[in-house]
Chains A and B, each alone.
Chain A
Amino acid sequence: MDPVIQHTILIGMAGLVCGALLALVSHYFAVHEDPTVEALTAALPGINCGGCGYAGCAAYAKAVATENIGLDLCKPGGAETVAKMAAITGRTASAREREVAVVLCNGSRERARQAALYNGVADCAAADLVAGGGKSCRFGCLGFGSCARVCPTGAIEIADSLAVVHPELCIGCGKCTGACPRKLIKLVPESRSIHVLCINRDRGPDVKKVCDVGCIGCTLCSKACNNEGIKMDGFLAVVDYTVPLNSPEIATKCPTKAIAVRPGVKKEAAA
């Protein structure tokens, strides 16, 4: 026989056998993907931020499909994602309010006193260990951007050695809250615009010594709102984000301008 034909038949036969084997294997060893998991994964934003507490969007989708996990854990997704997931699973759920991070410090280079020239590792955790970086305040933002480095959306800007969150970019994943060695970053409901930008618990005179815009514990703000909305915790005023507080004029009461009014995100304000 002509070797060309001979080889064509041989290889063709081998191909057929292999094909049949593959067909059998794919039939008997098939991994049965839950179509809901696939649909849920597609419904999620797919940025794998981990804000829900699972190791990425696919893991959360699987948890939703197999366990009785709430549909509202995806922070970046918001109402839209919850609605999509509710449609897929047939469950009812309402979206939580979108949360954004806020850095509770307003002590930029001009406003906070400098205690030392810090020339070490430019990392907040490292600076915090070495006598607390360059600023005098031992509660305030170190300004080396450990939070900005973990932010998946680049929503944190370091300006004048102070971290500032841009709420329109923030997806509320909360990675920055864990990265800050001074626990300065808090996730707050997006609609809230009044914040006490200080966590210094020292007495007034001590705060004055280290920063121009620190909370001196004068209690004017908490009195102005009848101790609702803003409460005193020792020498520090703390906003209670569970109680509504809609009086921006309260910020004018603060003698050190530690209270800031930051308008909410535009697209939400319009809605």
Chain B
Amino acid sequence: MTAIRAPFRIRGGVHPHDSKSATSALPVETAAVPPRLLVSASQHLGAPSKPVVKKGDAVLRGQVIAEASGYVSSAVHAPTSGTVKSVTSMLTATARHAFVVEIEPDGQDKWVEPLHPMADWTSAAPRDLVNRIAAAGIVGMGGAGFPTQVKLSPPPGKSIDTVIINGAECEPFLTADHRLMLEQSDAVWLGARIIRHILGASRLFVGIEDNKPDAIAAMEKAMAGADGETGVIILKSRYPQGAEKQLIRSVTGREVPSGGLPMDVGAVVENVATAAAVAAAVTRGVPLTERVITITGECVKNPRNLLARVGTPISWLIEQCGGLTGSVGKVISGGPMMGVALPDLDVGANKTTSGVLAISRESARQFGSEPCIACGRCVIACPSGLLPCTLSEHIEAEQFDDAERISVLDCIECGACAFECPARRPLVQHMRQGKQTVLTRRRAREAAARGKEERK
């Protein structure tokens, strides 16, 4: 099995400087347990989890501290043993407020009775494996944080033939997935095969951008002698190559329909870190309590890749890298393209925090926005094939019906349009506002229609 070039290309996209050299050659180091952990109960997409511990409780590592509260929700486990100091609403690494369980570690890092290892997963029922993944609190670790068990339970009638493991890591600066593929290629490959087994898919690919030749070689080695239709797909380095729908297009040539999901075209995409977490949960019975985080940017003294506990305060992570230096303009949770600037560094890292980026005042300089000059660069850049310029003008004029008509909901908020815009228009913000408003109005419309139906 040799690696092959991606047979298809994404639409549009941009090519920002990848800036990965600061950390791409640095091995992942295990960070110590910080003196205080801030574990958010809302680390995933969907209904926030319900905290099940209270102030003063003693917890062990791996103990459930917040349980899923609905179908699209996920459990959260204590990242170490210690005492619960408080359960309050606080700012999290997504720059949103959520219930946060504050834990003071006792230094012993004692595990709770682990779930039984399912070493013989090849003969296990997919249902049991999915339940295990749900119990381990695994969410999509690429950034969106969609609960993995939901992705792995396609509704009846939808058959999945292709599983794609996402090692594209197209965001500049981040190297967490890159290092994981190099150092834990076997775990990634094991997790990938478990996911394929659950879905009963025939094809399994690992997509990696061509700026990571060492990761491609490592994964190829791990996958040597694999059964079935498998392979490493070498992707062209282009942002947003690693976006779910774009990756499916590159690898299979299939286009997820407007308003649809990857499963509509028979594909499921999982991040490499998610695959490694699935492997740990199934074969070792370990819940998701730690992840690799890249701490980098020109204002971090010694950039590093750290294996840190979920809930480690960002400020503490930065301290572990020698602190900040120079005039810091912004600290971003995530990558520079889709991450959010943090107003406060005393927030706990989430399961989805793939990087912490401190950039200088010079890089974070602000611009005023000007009227659209209709150059069309955003249209060329848009990987979803939308018209960001027209959408932005509709949304600015509060013409939300028009925005809905030209598919504002298909925007993936990748920011390629804003990256290209010479008038520096706040395009992504417009899209977010538009999507939110359109969804709110749609819900109101549906509620009104339901009410009408009931009155009949």
Contact = CB atoms under 8 A, between A and B. Distances in A.
A203 interface: yes
> What is the size category of the interface that chain B forms with chain A?
20 to 34
A119 B366 CA distance: 7
Contact of B436 (A121, A129, A206): A129
A64 interface: no
B341 A121 contact: no
B184 interface: no
In the complex, which of the residues A131, A138, A206 has the most CB atoms of chain B within 10 Å of its own CB atom? A131
B429 A130 contact: yes
A123 interface: yes
Contacts of B426: 120-121
A121 B429 contact: yes
A115 interface: yes
A131 B95 contact: yes
Contact of B430 (A121, A136, A138): A121
Interface string B335-371: 0000011011000000000000000000000111000
B341 to A, nearest CB: 7
A1 interface: no
Given A121-B426, A203-B88, A129 B433 contact: yes
A138 B343 CA distance: 12
A129 B434 CA distance: 10
Interface string A128-139: 011110001010
A131 B429 contact: no
Given A123-B433, A138-B97, A202 B343 contact: no
Interface in A77-131: 115-117, 119-121, 123, 125-126, 129-131
B248 to A, nearest CB: 28
A203 B87 CA distance: 12
Contact of B344 (A115, A121, A130, A132): A115
Contacts of A116: 341, 343
Contacts of A138: 97
Interface in A193-207: 202-203, 206
Contact of B433 (A117, A125, A202): A125
Nearest to B340: A131
A132 B429 CA distance: 12
A130 B338 CA distance: 12
A131 B396 CA distance: 19
B437 interface: yes
B202 interface: no
A59 B366 CA distance: 49
A117 B97 contact: no
B392 to A, nearest CB: 10
A115 B95 CA distance: 11
Contacts of B343: 115-116, 131, 136
Nearest to A202: B89
A84 B148 CA distance: 66
A132 B96 CA distance: 8
B355 to A, nearest CB: 18
A260 B436 CA distance: 35
B437 A125 contact: yes
Contact of B341 (A125, A126, A131, A203): A131
Contacts of A129: 429, 432-433, 436
A121 B366 contact: no
Contacts of A132: 95
Contacts of B344: 115
B112 to A, nearest CB: 31
Interface in B398-456: 426, 429-430, 432-433, 436-437
A136 B91 CA distance: 10
Contacts of B437: 125
A121 B433 contact: yes
Given A115-B344, A138-B97, A120 B429 contact: yes
Contacts of B429: 120-121, 126, 129-130
A126 B433 contact: yes
Nearest to B396: A121
Contacts of A202: 89
The 5 lowest CB-CB distance pairs between A and B, nearest first, are: A115-B343, A131-B95, A126-B433, A119-B366, A116-B343
13 contacts: A119-B366, A119-B367, A119-B368, A121-B433, A125-B433, A125-B437, A126-B432, A129-B429, A129-B436, A131-B95, A131-B343, A202-B89, A206-B88
Interface of A: 115-117, 119-121, 123, 125-126, 129-132, 136, 138, 202-203, 206
Given A129-B429, A129-B436, A206-B88, 18 more contacts: A115-B344, A119-B366, A119-B367, A120-B426, A120-B429, A121-B429, A125-B437, A126-B429, A126-B432, A130-B429, A131-B96, A131-B340, A131-B341, A131-B343, A132-B95, A138-B97, A202-B89, A203-B88
